[in-house]
Amino acid sequence: MLIFISQYHGLENRLETTTEVVVYRIVQELLNNVVKHAEATIVLVQVMCYENSLNITIEDNGKGFDQATDKKSSGLNNVRSRVDYLKGQLDIQSAPGKGTSVYIDFSIQPGQ
Amino acid sequence: MKKINILIVDDHPMVLEGMKALLSNFDYMSVIGTATNAFETMDKLKNQQVDIVIVDINLPEVSGIELTARIKKEYPAIKVLAMSTFKERSYISQMIKNGASGYLVKSASKEEIEAAIQSANEGKLYLSLDINSIDLNSEIAPDVPVVSRREKEVLQLIVDGLTNPQIADKLFISLHTVDSHRKNLLAKFNVNNTASLIRVAIKNNLVET
């Protein structure tokens, strides 16, 4: 049993196709991580879109991980390379037993 | 094994007595008291060592939803189990958002109640089977927006009077990221400026003042 809490802002208009696909893949990858590894019961999915920027938060109440030692998650590396591709910023908060919160922020082209 | 100390809160004596009788079946649980409203509950928590509070959502004056937030604020270690006849999603999401460890419908069986108390005691989330069958893997649209961990941290520091650069320093995130979190908060609460944001944050018990 996993409860999804989702929040969106500013997604009324379509974005550039590449951006849409990359955002979709990032959210998919992060949710996949939550379902496969986190042992969480609640997950927050948030996509907030503004004129020039877009940010994503995927946060769970699961078992978390030690950021210093557990580095080799291929899922997270996929996300990292996508974020780099978009020249975005990635902020991961996690600790054993404390859940995981991933925040991603990047610029978008206005007026698409 | 240490007994689980339980306080039951409901405005109906029959529910209190019924619940008490039911829990007396489990020798590792001990009902150390009952209360019929929020005020009585907070009084009792002051003087007694309680592990789990079972709270009716529909209490007079101060609702169980508000009481849950209050208990979690003053006694973060105490686990709260919500109890109600309601099955509406918004009640469940509000209770969970306010820190409840689980939600029981009053039609729950003895086994379900035991499972709920056990998982709450272990720090896990429990939802009544009834609810699982209705809402399995479905989305819950919260009435009050949910804030992420980072947003909550940023919000607290805004309320504490820090500027964006100070917040960035403190949380080890970029100035741009602080600004994005601030923007998210304004959008979520549908407000235009920081003063209004602080007001709704305080009203919704999201920050400490």
CB-CB neighbors (< 8 A) of A58 in chain B:
none
Model pLDDT for residues B17-58, shown as the tens digit of each residue: 999 999 999 999 999 999 999 989 999 999 889 999 999 988
∠ CA B115-A43-B101, rounded to 5° = 30
Cβ atoms B84, B64 nearer than 8 A: yes
Residues of chain B with confidence (pLDDT) below 50: 131-142
Number of other CB atoms surrounding residue A91 within 10 Å: 19
List, in sequence order, every residue forming a beta bridge with A3; answer none if it has no partner: A42
Q: Rounded to an integer, what distance in angstroms lies between the CA atom of residue B190 and that of residue A49?
A: 14
From the CA of A41, how many Å to the nearest CA of chain B? 7
Supply the pLDDT for residue B55.
Answer: 94
Out of A38-42, A67-71, B11-15, B48-52, least confident range: A67-71
Query: For B59-66, which contacts have Cβ atoms below 8 Å and span 24 or more sequence positions?
Result: B59/B9, B59/B10, B59/B11, B60/B11, B61/B37, B62/B37, B62/B38, B64/B9, B64/B95, B65/B91, B65/B94, B65/B95, B65/B98, B66/B38, B66/B98
Residues of chain B found within 8 Å of residue A101, distances taken between Cβ atoms: 148-150
Task: Answer for the pair B41, B7: CB distance below 8 angstroms, yes or no.
Answer: yes
What's the confidence (pLDDT) of residue A112?
Answer: 46
Q: B-chain residues within 8 Å CB-CB of A50?
A: 183, 187
**Distance, in angstroms, between A17 CA and closest chain B CA?**
23
Q: Which pLDDT value is given to residue B28?
A: 93
Please answer yes or no on whether A42 and B96 come within 8 Å at the CB atom: yes
What ipTM score was computed for the predicted complex, to two decimals?
0.82
Report the predicted TM-score, pTM, of the whole model to 2 decimal places.
Answer: 0.57
Residue B10 pairs in a beta bridge with none
